[in-house]
Structures are given as structure tokens and as C-alpha cells.
Amino acid sequence: MIWEKLKEWLGGGEDGNGEFLPEWITLLEKNLPLYKRLPDEMRQHLHERIARFVDSVRFEGCNGLELTDEMVLTVAAQACVLVIHRDGVPYPGLRTVYLYPSTFSSIHKSVDAMGVITEGRVHRLGESWETGTIVLSWNSVEQGARDIHDGSNVTFHEFAHQLDHEDGPTDGAPGLRSRASYRSWARVFSESYADFLDLTERGRKTVLDAYGATNPAEFFAVATETFFEKPRQLSEKRPELYQELMSYYGLDPREWFS
């Protein structure tokens, strides 16, 4: 499988000649139109990030899904776009990625204002757990990767949650560099979230998907999807929010869509 070859490439082994294998590049170009828009230098760095990701994370197929190189690469490449400027292990707290063939179900618990707990089974496209696990529907991963203009990408969404987990509670504020960064983030995100809630409650269409109104954590994940797939629209509609995301991710995706 691909992880053994990537380990060799990363470690300078038999196949580690500094060149990503042509078949890997072909898969990325086929499944990720965004990949072809990246500058050459960034693509080279992404290759290294992908290798480290695959070396540090275990993939498992569920419900009879047989993992392929295509699946592993498609997930890993998108996950690593979010952390392309990181050094070391891309997601230190992540241990396992489970892939289902399509939509999967899980148990969801909710507590109302009276403290009554309701439990039910819900159908999902993806989940991110604070215990170091991500669960994804492969057909949703594939569809989200191939349409880079709709602002909907389950892989970006769930890996944004994983970044949010890293500093403790999943609250819409990932780990930032300084107190000043947290102050700026808190102001911009709280103002933007409040305005977004008002617009969605009034039934107004926005550049961000309405699911972001669920809570601040979902707002951050939805904003991440939009940042990478509708950067121009987001920068025009919510310039301060765009600037915060650009500072956090160290990227300006508008450059890729020119």
C-alpha cells in the first residue's frame, strides 16, 4: 500500500529520490482540482506533508470498504492543505481516520433546557472526535474534493474541527500564536457569528452555509470550507473574518483562483 512507499520516499529509501511518484500526482490531479492551482513550491511542500501525515495516522475501511491509494491520498492531501506551513507531524493529536463507503449513522445525545436527555441515531457525512479520530464518508470526500467552487468540503470541515480540538474545548477558536491573536480572533469571530445568526434567522442567504449557525465550532468549520473554496466571495462579504483565517492558515486562496 501507499503508506509503505511514502515512508520510503520520506526516509530517502529505495524510492526516496525526491520525486513524488507520477501515479500519485496523477491521482491528485484527477481528484483534487485545487492541487493543480497551487504554486509549484507549495505542491512540493504538500507532498512532504502528505508523507508525514500518512506516516503518523492509521487509516481503516469500514462497512466493507477496501482502502485504496486513491482514498488515502485524497483524504491526506486535503487535510494537509490546512496545515501546509506546519513543521513536524501535521496533526499531532490525530491517531485514526475511519472511512465508510457512504453516509454512516451514529448515536447523537442532546440535553434540553430542562435537563432531559434525548438519544437518537443520525446519519452523517463526517465526524471529528476529541480523542484523535476522524470518521468520513468516502463518496462525500470524493465529491467535496472535485467541486472546488461550492464551499462544501467535508474533509476541510472535519479537519478544521480537529484543529479546534488541539487547544482544549471545541469552541471555534483553534490554538493561536499569542494573546493578541486570541483577542483579535474573539472580536472578529464573535461579531461575525452574531451577524451570521441574525441573517440566517431572517432567512437571508449568505456566502456561509447555514449549518454554521449551529454553534461557534461549526461556524469555524464552515468558514474554513468557504475560505478555501469561495475565497473571493468570503473576502468581499466578510473581510475581517477572511483576514483572521488568512493569518491563521498562512495562506491566501484568492491567489489560486485568479
Residues of the chain with confidence (pLDDT) below 70:
1, 3, 7, 10-19, 103-124
* Residue 210 belongs to domain with CATH number: 3.40.390.10
Looking at the structure, tell me whether residues 1 and 89 fall in a common domain: yes
Looking at the structure, tell me whether residues 23 and 144 fall in a common domain: yes
- CA distances in angstroms from 75 to 19, 127, 141, 142, 208, listed in the order given: 20, 14, 7, 9, 23
Q: Sheet containing 133-137: which strands, arranged edge to edge? A: 58-61, 96-100, 133-137, 126-129
Identify residue 153 by its one-letter amino acid code: N
Looking at the structure, tell me whether residues 131 and 216 fall in a common domain: no
* Residue 78 belongs to domain with CATH number: 1.10.472.150
Looking at the structure, tell me whether residues 225 and 137 fall in a common domain: no
Looking at the structure, tell me whether residues 4 and 76 fall in a common domain: yes
- Specify the pairing of strand 126-129 against strand 133-137: antiparallel
Looking at the structure, tell me whether residues 228 and 109 fall in a common domain: no
Of 142, 166, 190, which one is at a domain's C-terminal end? 166
Contact 83, 49 (CB under 8 A): yes
Write out the residue range of the structural domain in which residue 251 sits: 167-258
Number of domain units in the chain: 2
Looking at the structure, tell me whether residues 138 and 228 fall in a common domain: no
Contact 51, 16 (CB under 8 A): no
- Specify the pairing of strand 96-100 against strand 104-111: unpaired
Of 113, 132, 166, which one is at a domain's C-terminal end? 166
pTM of the model: 0.88
Q: Which of 107, 108, 105, 140 is nearest to 124 (CA)?
A: 105
Looking at the structure, tell me whether residues 39 and 127 fall in a common domain: yes
Looking at the structure, tell me whether residues 92 and 2 fall in a common domain: yes
Looking at the structure, tell me whether residues 152 and 194 fall in a common domain: no
Identify residue 208 by its one-letter amino acid code: L
Looking at the structure, tell me whether residues 92 and 32 fall in a common domain: yes
Residue 41: how many CB atoms within 10 A of its CB? 8
Looking at the structure, tell me whether residues 5 and 110 fall in a common domain: yes
Of 122, 141, 166, which one is at a domain's C-terminal end? 166
Query: What was the pLDDT predicted at 15?
Result: 41
Query: Which residues, 6+ apart, have CB-to-CB distance to 103 below 8 Å?
Result: 123, 124, 125, 137, 140
pLDDT tens digits, 183-209:
999 999 999 999 999 999 999 989 999
Query: What was the pLDDT predicted at 114?
Result: 52
